[in-house]
Amino acid sequence: MFEEFKKLIKSETYFFLITPAYMWQIMFLVLPIVFVVVLSLSAGQGAHLVQSFTLQNFYEVFQLSQIRIVVRSIVLASTTAIASLFIAYPVAYFLALHIKRFKFFFLFLLSIPFLINVLVQVYAWFFILEKNGVINHVLMMLGLVEKPLNFLNSYFAIYLVMFHVYLPFMIMPIYSSLEKIDTRLIEASYDLGASFRTTFWNIILPLSMPGVQAGFFLVYVVSFGEYVIPSLLGGLKHFFVGTLISEYFFIGNDWHLGAAFICLSCGILFISAILYYVFFNKITVRSKVIR
């Protein structure tokens, strides 16, 4: 079996079969990245190159106001990821280990958000949050407020909707890694005299860590560059990385500065992701120590 596989790798058939995949990767991943890096290191109008090599774009981008936007995005992404982790874990836990009947139904409910476009979800929130929306209506009826509150165009709206949209992305990987845990391991832990706390901390948590990490980085990275939610619910006041990049490219028409900003924010995202990764590894190592 393995020998045959080796032979296949050497053969021409394999080469022709793998070529489309490589082409796809080069065309739509490698080339755009190279393109962005080249743009960031040059100057000119739109996509045109005037000056071949310059660091001027980075000088401009490295300003406090720009860095502040990157940090704001990191705070948004971290908050979304951490908040959804704390809500998603219990949900995934009960779904995977406690619910025996109607499991399929609950999984179906969980997958509904995946079937609906983010844009549609955001517009649904519009109707809930707007001045004549559901929440204000209820508050008025109960006499809790005199005049309708303004929920839209605020950080509150952005954080709330981000949390809602990305929660399923956190639940699914955690659910699948919890589901894979052999329940006999949990029984064995109790059998050996462990309490629920010990069992959770030393057995269940470390074994579900791959799912936690997958979910966390999925939500963290995607919400870092989120464009739709902040621009629709935050109005024009609240800039994040995604909105600023689109501003550079489509309104300012300064592709070179935009590309430099992309490089900067990617770098910061990368570093912060590594820090989180180290943090998760520390948790995994510490959760093996029985106390």
Partner 1 sequence: MKSIKLVNVTKSFGFDLILKNFNLEIPSGKFFALLGPSGCGKTTVLRMIAGFEEPDHGEIYLGNTNISHLPINQRRVNTVFQNYALFPHFNVFDNVAYSLRVKQFSQDEIEYRVAKMLKMFGLEQLKYKSVRQISGGQQQRVAIARAVINEPDVLLLDEPLAALDMRLRERVLVELIELQEELGMTFIYVTHDQTEALTVADQMAIMGKKGQIEQVGTPKEVYEFPKSTMVARFVGSTNILHGNLEFEHETLYLYLDEKNRVLVPMVGNWQELLKQDRVYLSIRPEKVELSKSPLIGFTNHVVGTVSAIIYHGRSTQYNIALVNGTVMQVFEQNEEHFPKETIDYDDVVNVYWQTENSVLLKS
Euclidean distance between the first and the last CA atom of the chain, given in angstroms as a whole number: 47
Q: Give the position of tokens 């590894």.
A: 281
Q: How far is the CB of 185 from partner 1 (least distance, A)?
A: 5
Contact 166, 80 (CB under 8 A): yes
Q: How far is the CB of 205 from partner 1 (least distance, A)?
A: 10
Q: Which of 44, 113, 148, 206 binds partner 1 (CB under 8 A)?
A: 206
| 4 near partner 1, judged by CB under 8 A | no
Q: Give the DSSP per-residue string, 140-197.
A: HHTTS-SS----SSSHHHHHHHHHHHHHHHHHHHHHHHHHHS-HHHHHHHHHTT--HH
Q: How many residues bind partner 1 (CB under 8 A)?
A: 18
Q: How far is the CB of 188 from partner 1 (least distance, A)?
A: 4
CB nearer to partner 1: pick between 54 and 198: 198
DSSP state of 201: I
Token code pair at residue 62: 């490295």
| 290 near partner 1, judged by CB under 8 A | yes
Site string for partner 1, 269-288 (x = CB under 8 A): -------------------x
CB nearer to partner 1: pick between 25 and 195: 195
Q: How far is the CB of 136 from partner 1 (least distance, A)?
A: 48
Q: How far is the CB of 194 from partner 1 (least distance, A)?
A: 5
Q: Give the position of tokens 């955001």.
A: 122
Token code pair at residue 144: 């809790």
Residue 40, SS3 per DSSP? helix
- Applying the rule CB under 8 A, the residues between 231 and 260 that interact with partner 1 are none
Residue 43, SS3 per DSSP? strand
Q: How far is the CB of 195 from partner 1 (least distance, A)?
A: 6
Token code pair at residue 46: 């739109």
| 102 near partner 1, judged by CB under 8 A | no
| 144 near partner 1, judged by CB under 8 A | no
DSSP state of 134: H
How far, rounded to the nearest angstrom, does the alpha carbon of residue 177 sit from its chain's CA centroid? 18
- Applying the rule CB under 8 A, the residues between 169 and 198 that interact with partner 1 are 182, 184-185, 187-195, 198
Q: How far is the CB of 204 from partner 1 (least distance, A)?
A: 11
| 79 near partner 1, judged by CB under 8 A | no
CB nearer to partner 1: pick between 4 and 182: 182
Question: Distance between CA atoms of 45 and 43, rounded to whole angstroms?
Answer: 7
| 146 near partner 1, judged by CB under 8 A | no
Contact 152, 231 (CB under 8 A): no
Residue 51, SS3 per DSSP? strand
Q: Which of 82, 207, 218, 268 binds partner 1 (CB under 8 A)?
A: 207
Binding site for partner 1 (CB under 8 A): 182, 184-185, 187-195, 198, 203, 206-207, 288, 290
